[in-house]
Amino acid sequence: MSRLSPVLDLLFPPRCPLCGEGVSAHGGLCAPCWSGLAMPGDPSCQLCQRPLSSAAASHAEDGLLCHTCVVEAPRHHGVAAATLYNDTSRQLVIALKHGRRVALAGLMGRLMAARLRAQDVGPGWLVVPVPLHRWRLWGRGFNQSALLTQEIARHTGAKPMVDALVRRRKTPMLGGLGPQERAKVLNGAIDVHPGRKARLHGAKVILADDVLTSGATTNACIAALEQAGAVRVIVACFARVHGEELA
């Protein structure tokens, strides 16, 4: 802990970033807001962390896999979701992404890293963020996924590579589009940075994003990473939307 922490706490008392109530230390949530986060638990799909009902779990085959993963094996090698998407996690994502409260990346990244450590992720892995198009990056001023990538690397020992992927063209918002439409929009939009291809060959990669929704964007990223020779890709997200089908 920094020697200046007591002074800073006196000048700027730590408060919950969501409700403004006093907390014991900067970078944390108050107890009521913390209790509003929904954490993935059991039973859930071993590959995509989709929550399973007790009835579905009792009939699950192939080691507790959801119906979607049984019907079509996902491109990734697992999902590490810090939380399930709900009103509380949504507020944190919006505060980071649109409210420019970049300090929240510390809290969110720590929760993501905790999930990743359960999957034996650590030194020897690369952490790569889902890329933003340069126009969106210029407008926002930062890529929230790149901030989360740095935090994951700090807490797991994996090596960050924030420029590994590039978004070649600006794509529209995917909300309201079906799986095939989403895949068509993203076709050819994401590629590997030419200067990073050699490092990605044979690599084990953590693909980091703030929210995992349909899986269309992560699939496009994984396809590019696989083309560069990555041998294993785990998707890490802060919030996982579980009401939509994931590929």
Q: Does residue 78 lie in a domain region?
A: yes
Please compute the mean of the pLDDT values over residues 53-82 and round it to a whole number.
Answer: 75
Tell me, yes or no, whether 57 lies in a domain.
Answer: yes
What is the three-state SS of the chain? CCCCHHHHHHHCCCECCCCCCECCCCCCCCHHHHHCCECCCCCECCCCCCECCHHHHHHCCCCCCCHHHHHCCCCCCCEEEEEECCHHHHHHHHHHHCCCCCCHHHHHHHHHHHHHHCCCCCCCEEEEECCCCHHHHHHHCCCHHHHHHHHHHHHHCCEECCCCEEECCCCCCCCCCCHHHHHHHHCCCEEECHHHHHHHCCCEEEEEEEEECCCHHHHHHHHHHHHCCCCEEEEEEEEECCCCCCC
pLDDT, mean of residues 120-137 = 91
Nearest to 189 by CA among 162, 221, 161: 221
Q: 191 lies in which domain range? A: 25-240
Rounded to 10 degrees, the C-alpha dihedral 93/97/98/103 comes to: 90
| Residue 115 belongs to a domain | yes
Q: Is the pLDDT of residue 247 over 50?
A: no
Residue 38 lies in a domain: yes
What pLDDT is attached to residue 170?
79
Distance CA 111, CA 61 (A): 29
Report residue 237's pLDDT band, with 50, 70 and 90 as the boundaries: very high
Residue 214 sits in a domain of what CATH number? 3.40.50.2020
pLDDT score recorded for residue 246: 39
pLDDT top residue among 15 and 89: 89
Q: Are strands 190-192 and 125-129 parallel, antiparallel or unpaired?
A: unpaired
Residue 122 pLDDT: 85
**pLDDT at residue 239 tops 50:** yes
Residue-wise pLDDT tens digits, 187-214:
888 999 999 999 999 999 999 999 998 8
Query: What local confidence, expressed as pLDDT, does residue 26 receive?
Result: 66
Question: Is residue 246, in this structure, part of any structural domain at all?
Answer: no
Residue 6: inside a domain: no
In-domain check, residue 16: no
Residue 120, C-beta contacts closer than 8 angstroms, at least 6 positions apart:
none
Domain count, the chain: 1
Span 23-42, average pLDDT = 85
pLDDT in tens, 147-184: 999 999 999 999 999 999 999 887 766 666 666 777 77
- Banded pLDDT at 71 (limits 50, 70, 90): confident
Q: Is position 222 within any domain? A: yes
**What is residue 120's predicted lDDT score, i.e. its pLDDT?**
79
Between 58 and 120, whose confidence is greater? 120
